Chains A and B, each alone.
Chain A
Amino acid sequence: MSQATKTEPKEALFSKKNVKILKDPLNESNPVTVQVLGICSSLAITVKLEPAIVMGVSVLVVTAFSNLITSMLRNLIPNRIRIIVQLVIVAALVIVVDQILKAYVYDVSKQLSVFVGLIITNCILMGRIEAFALANTPWKAFLDGIGNGAGYAAVLIVVAFIRELLGAGQLYGYQIIPESWYLDNGGWYSNNGLMLLPPMALIVLAVLIWVQRAKFRQLIEN
């Protein structure tokens, strides 16, 4: 593919093809709901909206830049050690991101704590590098990274929205369900504690996948 693009006339930065690379992972080839990658971390950090958003943004940054760097080096990387090289690139990026967060946005980095480390183990990163960045030009790879990071972030945010609202009655830490509704205050409402537990994340995600496939029938496998 890379050879083909070299001989073609210069492509516009946001040509139809490139926009498709950017937009597809948001729905039709979503890394979480369609390719079922990165499930582990999406279950672990969707109890609340805030860490989910920060995690989504961090993954987006790392996927975009690891794709970009790998793609720039793609003709120099020896095939036999390519997985190691990819791991080193991703790990180095994650460490740099972590250090910068700790120095300049300390509060955010505290919320991410373990999750930053989890970015390294996220299958989406290695998946996109192997499947896309190694065979495409840097700009395309960069767009693909942003698209997939955004696809991941979108799923996290939807799941975290549902879990935080039903599990804690809050959104982004602010109380949404009026205090007077609660049983303790003489009301009729009670938070669903099950929503805060990991199994419920899996169920919410499964329902999300179900809804998506019901709406886009081409996603249903035979």
Chain B
Amino acid sequence: MNVNGNSYTYVFSVVMVVLVAVVLSVAALSLKPAQDANIQKEKKQEILKSLGIEVTRDEAEASFETYITDQLVLKGGKLEANPETPAFDIKMADAVAKPMDEREVPLFIAERDGKVFYIIPVRGKGLWGPIWGYVSILSDGYTIAGATFGHKSETPGLGAEISLPVFTDQFPGKKLAVNGAYQSISVRKGDAAGDHQVDGISGGTITSVGVESMLNDCLQPYMSFLLSRSSVLSAPEGAALSDTLISVL
């Protein structure tokens, strides 16, 4: 058999391509359910982490059911009664590509130790790829309770530090509004002060700037809703809080 003949070469390439395609499709299809389950659990894990609840990926499912009391969809700052996709399944990558008024964005409501928290997903661009995160907000509608960030491919040791406590621990207590008007968090180079600034990562400037514009862009669509909601809620305190919330919903 002439291994270097034209017809053999053609036959060999065709057989090879078909074989490899079959192998890869079988691998992709058979592993997809396990991969998707991992991604879902990780999302739940991240949402809980923004509340300061650390769970392993296997526990995430059950804890999520315990703490998350409601999942809403907002559009143009208002509650959307008939969303196209359920809140949990909304892809933030698609949502942030749209103008702010046309976005359908999810809002998760959690209850922990009798207190209500709002959890907002955020997504933006880092240096090498997408960055994302979850910001939890106290029931006053503008004080940050916690934040967690993730990234696809930021530089380890530099931009990737946004997902570490060194960076995220700065967020609790920061404010997103001044006198009822929205004001986002800015990321500073080492001189952060006050309620609206955090320190960035040295050597990770582009990622830090990415976090700043991500927060600015993604938190804004929620603010009018959260601020008006919190003024409704601010009257009754304590145990009545969750009942009021349910009636408002």
Q: Which residues of A contact B (CB under 8 A)?
A: 45, 47-48, 51, 75-81, 84-85, 88, 92, 95-96, 99-100, 102-104, 106-107, 113-114, 167-168, 193, 196-197
Contacts and interface: CB of A to CB of B under 8 A. Distances in A.
B159 to A, nearest CB: 11
Interface of B: 3-5, 8-9, 12-13, 16-17, 20, 23-24, 27-28, 31, 34-35, 38, 42, 57, 128-129, 152-153, 155-158, 202-203
A48 B35 contact: no
Most buried by A among B4, B27, B128, B129: B27
A48 B157 contact: yes
Nearest to B23: A92
B223 to A, nearest CB: 32
Contact of A196 (B4, B31, B34, B157): B157
A95 B152 CA distance: 18
A80 B4 contact: yes
Which are the 6 A-B pairs with shortest beta-carbon distances? A103-B34, A47-B157, A103-B31, A106-B38, A78-B9, A196-B157
A85 B34 CA distance: 30
A114 B128 contact: yes
B203 A197 contact: yes
A95 B35 contact: no
Contacts of A80: 4, 9
A113 B14 CA distance: 31
A193 B42 CA distance: 31
A95 B24 contact: yes
Contact of B3 (A45, A79, A113, A168): A79
A114 B128 CA distance: 10
B3 A78 contact: yes
Contacts of A196: 157-158, 203
